[in-house]
Chain A
Amino acid sequence: MGSVDVKALDGVTLDIAKGEFLGIMGPSGSGKTTLLHMLGLLDTPTSGKITIDGTDVGKLTDYERTMFRLYKLGYVFQDYALVPELTVMENVSLPAMLREDRTEEQYRTASHDILQKIGLCDRRDHLPGELSGGQQQRVSLARAMVNKPDILFADEPCANLDTENSRMVLDLFREINEQMRQTIVMVSHEDWHKDYFHRIIRLRDGKIVSDGINGKTSH
């Protein structure tokens, strides 16, 4: 038997505006995460082009892609993906520590401020294992935001959370989006999450089946 080529994404073209809260939705296997990973420079398309802030990211070297992710992008993953041996403060500070344009004082202040914003400053010396799922995801969001990225990518950030915690995390995303004019691209399969998005792209079998402004939002 020969192998069968499956196109995870097929002819997808889209623009994302600064400050947009974009939701990528669709059934399982529709290519949501693949699209997010390609936009977030975690995967490379076999053909096509991705341009972020005027940079054709396909032409970047491996090291340049790493630095691009560090300086311009932020990520929140489904399973929080915190380093279990680092405290909340250390986890949040980690990406900022690597930036050449930040002093120790600057990244400490930035980490402190973002932890205060998400309401976990009092837990800064705790390890991730000592926090609830919702708290860990908020820490993950703080880590993604500490470098004030151009785009924040979130891959089903509420998949492991109950409704109450999901709502708390999504409220936080909305707050960040509104107050900081933060561009957010979020993958979700929960229908009620669409209330938070400005714009929703729906995928099926790797193709965009709909792309439109969310009527329920007031933007």
Chain B
Amino acid sequence: MGKKELKVAFLLALRSLQRGNRSSVLLIILIIALVFTNMIYMPALLSGIGQSITRQVVDYEVSNVLVSPKSGEQYISDLDATLDLINGMPGVERASPHYSKGATLKFRQRILGVSVRAINPQDEKYVSPLYTKMVAGSYLGEDDTGEVIIGSPSAGSSSIREEDEFQPSLGGVRVGDSITIEYGNGYAKDYRVKGIFTTGWTPVDSAVYITWTDMEQVVGKKLDEAEYITVKSRPGYSESFIKNELLQYGVTEKVQTTKDLLSKSLGRALQSFAIINTVTLIVSLIIAVVVLFIVIMIKILNNRRQIGILKAIGVDKEVIMHSYGIQVIILAVLGIGLGIIMTQILVVYMSYNPIVTPEWSASLYVTPFDLAFNSVILFIAALAAGYIPAWRVSREDIQKAMRA
């Protein structure tokens, strides 16, 4: 098709959209936009859930690299030397040791079984944003003794009756209250609640944090061992680089990156998400193709006589076909553009109003690649849906078309 034919096809397409039935044009654009939003929404939500879980696991459980005891051992021994070794390596921001014990909390008439986690508050600040999640009181200080910070679900609320609680709590502990912690080894001590936090990550929100010094009192000795060490990398250093470095420089414990851990724990969930995403994509595309095919077919059938007339006066069938094709291209571009705007509005809305569950809170996670990929797929589908009826009708006999 030559330049002149293309120009005429473009003129016919443009004028049909400009001066034809405006509500029909707007409806088609809206349909394409909604199909695009539908294609993006579910996969983006599932990606958001995956991202949320990943972020929380990184923030509150493993940071970038997790060092845990070698097989057959319960604790990482020679902790001070191990920490010095890890902290001295290039690319390591900070290593933070963790040690936990099962315990029972007592406050007034309430009893609650929890995990008490010991941390070095300053080290933990480098690897976890826990210190930023205080909703009352303040975070632990390095030299604090006899003080705890507690997750708000465990602290509970005095306004909710025990039988109405979603999960067991201490029934409304407030900053400054004194709670008793009885450990499995028989050690018991009263602690002052220094702060209450909410992270949205259930295992952390159900726990109580004390300082390393306090835990040494619990175990009755200097604590030169840890259950695990979380390692934060400096910007620009990859997790695998840190892992290889640790192994090379003589860390004999088990070393795993976040990716290693997530591929095991979240691998199957992410696979399931991928299946749901594929099904959503296929269903959305089928809807788009069918709707656009019907809409364009109706439009073309209504214009059969005009198509016949155009052919009669010497307009080639290719020009007629492309005039409808160009209409679909314009509609698809506008629809996809509107779809991108709608998706971005949803992304912004859900970043302020995430879906919150006890396990995770998720907003939409959309990458430029997602937008580009879905745009191209929908564009191709729209093109096929528009061109097929145009191709069929443009080849119809002039007499038949003119009698329509």
A residues near B, CB below 8 A? 37, 40, 42-43, 63, 66-67, 69-71, 73-75, 77, 81, 83-86, 90, 94-95, 97-100, 127, 143-144, 147
- Which single member of B16, B305, B314, B402 contacts A66 (CB below 8 Å)? B314
For A42, the chain B residues whose CB sits under 8 A away are 312, 398-399, 402
| Residue contact A69 to B313, C-beta cutoff 8 Å | yes
- CB of B18 within 8 Å of the partner chain: yes
Query: In the complex, what residue of chain B is closest to A153 when comparing beta carbons?
Result: B312
For B316, the chain A residues whose CB sits under 8 A away are 63, 66-67, 98
| Residue contact B4 to A97, C-beta cutoff 8 Å | yes
For A67, the chain B residues whose CB sits under 8 A away are 314, 316
For A95, the chain B residues whose CB sits under 8 A away are 313-315
| Residue contact B319 to A98, C-beta cutoff 8 Å | yes
Q: Give A43 to B310 CA distance when docked, in angstroms.
A: 15
For A77, the chain B residues whose CB sits under 8 A away are 309, 312
Chain B, interface size category, equals: 20 to 34
For B16, the chain A residues whose CB sits under 8 A away are 85
Q: Give A36 to B296 CA distance when docked, in angstroms.
A: 33
- CB of B15 within 8 Å of the partner chain: yes
For B123, the chain A residues whose CB sits under 8 A away are none
With A66-B317, A143-B313 as contacts: A83 and B399 at CB distance below 8 Å:
no
Distance in angstroms from B386 CB to nearest chain A CB is 18
- Would you list 21 pairs from A and B whose C-beta atoms are within 8 A, ordered by A residue? A40-B312, A42-B398, A43-B398, A66-B311, A66-B315, A69-B312, A70-B314, A74-B313, A75-B312, A77-B312, A81-B305, A81-B306, A83-B306, A83-B310, A84-B19, A86-B11, A90-B11, A94-B8, A98-B4, A100-B4, A147-B314
With A42-B398, A42-B399, A81-B306 as contacts: A75 and B313 at CB distance below 8 Å:
yes
Which A-B residue pairs are the 7 nearest by beta carbons? A70-B314, A85-B19, A81-B309, A85-B15, A69-B314, A85-B16, A42-B398
For B8, the chain A residues whose CB sits under 8 A away are 94, 97-98
| Residue contact A90 to B15, C-beta cutoff 8 Å | yes
| Residue contact A94 to B313, C-beta cutoff 8 Å | yes
Distance in angstroms from A40 CB to nearest chain B CB is 8
**Interface SS of chain B:** helix
- Which single member of B5, B19, B305, B399 contacts A37 (CB below 8 Å)? B399
Q: Give A97 to B315 CA distance when docked, in angstroms.
A: 10
Query: In the complex, what residue of chain A is closest to B316 when comparing beta carbons?
Result: A66
With A69-B313, A95-B313 as contacts: A100 and B15 at CB distance below 8 Å:
no
Q: Give A66 to B311 CA distance when docked, in angstroms.
A: 7
- CB of B2 within 8 Å of the partner chain: yes
For B70, the chain A residues whose CB sits under 8 A away are none
Distance in angstroms from A69 CB to nearest chain B CB is 4
For chain B, residues 249 to 276, give those with C-beta under 8 angstroms from any C-beta of chain A.
Answer: none
Q: Give A56 to B97 CA distance when docked, in angstroms.
A: 96
- CB of B7 within 8 Å of the partner chain: yes
- What mask results when residues 1 to 26 of chain B are scored 1 for a CB within 8 Å of chain A, else 0? 01011011001100110111000000
| Residue contact B7 to A100, C-beta cutoff 8 Å | no
Q: Give A95 to B7 CA distance when docked, in angstroms.
A: 12
Query: In the complex, what residue of chain A is closest to B15 when comparing beta carbons?
Result: A85
Q: Give A98 to B12 CA distance when docked, in angstroms.
A: 12
| Given A37-B399, A69-B312, A98-B314; 10 other pairs, CB 8 A cutoff | A66-B314, A66-B315, A67-B316, A69-B314, A71-B314, A73-B314, A85-B20, A97-B4, A98-B319, A99-B4
For A74, the chain B residues whose CB sits under 8 A away are 313
For chain B, residues 272 to 314, give those with C-beta under 8 angstroms from any C-beta of chain A.
Answer: 305-306, 309-314
Query: In the complex, what residue of chain B is closest to A70 when comparing beta carbons?
Result: B314
- Which single member of B11, B20, B313 contacts A70 (CB below 8 Å)? B313
Query: In the complex, what residue of chain B is closest to A129 when comparing beta carbons?
Result: B19
Q: Give A69 to B312 CA distance when docked, in angstroms.
A: 7
Distance in angstroms from B334 CB to nearest chain A CB is 18
Distance in angstroms from B203 CB to nearest chain A CB is 64
| Residue contact A86 to B313, C-beta cutoff 8 Å | no
Q: Give A119 to B117 CA distance when docked, in angstroms.
A: 94
Q: Give A143 to B2 CA distance when docked, in angstroms.
A: 22
Q: Give A144 to B314 CA distance when docked, in angstroms.
A: 10
Q: Give A144 to B315 CA distance when docked, in angstroms.
A: 13
- Which single member of A69, A70, A97 contacts B7 (CB below 8 Å)? A97
For A63, the chain B residues whose CB sits under 8 A away are 316
Q: Give A75 to B308 CA distance when docked, in angstroms.
A: 12
For B305, the chain A residues whose CB sits under 8 A away are 81
Most B CB contacts (10 A, CB to CB) among A63, A71, A94, A147 go to A94
- Which single member of B15, B18, B315 contacts A98 (CB below 8 Å)? B315
For A85, the chain B residues whose CB sits under 8 A away are 12, 15-16, 18-20
Distance in angstroms from A63 CB to nearest chain B CB is 7
Q: Give A63 to B310 CA distance when docked, in angstroms.
A: 14
For A71, the chain B residues whose CB sits under 8 A away are 314
With A69-B314, A98-B315, A127-B19 as contacts: A43 and B7 at CB distance below 8 Å:
no
- What mask results when residues 373 to 404 of chain B are scored 1 for a CB within 8 Å of chain A, else 0? 00000000000000000000000001100100
For chain B, residues 140 to 184, give those with C-beta under 8 angstroms from any C-beta of chain A.
Answer: none
Query: In the complex, what residue of chain B is closest to A69 when comparing beta carbons?
Result: B314
For A147, the chain B residues whose CB sits under 8 A away are 314
Q: Give A127 to B18 CA distance when docked, in angstroms.
A: 12
For A127, the chain B residues whose CB sits under 8 A away are 19
Distance in angstroms from A80 CB to nearest chain B CB is 10
For B4, the chain A residues whose CB sits under 8 A away are 97-100
Query: In the complex, what residue of chain A is closest to B3 when comparing beta carbons?
Result: A100
Q: Give A40 to B313 CA distance when docked, in angstroms.
A: 10
Q: Give A94 to B18 CA distance when docked, in angstroms.
A: 17
Q: Give A42 to B402 CA distance when docked, in angstroms.
A: 10
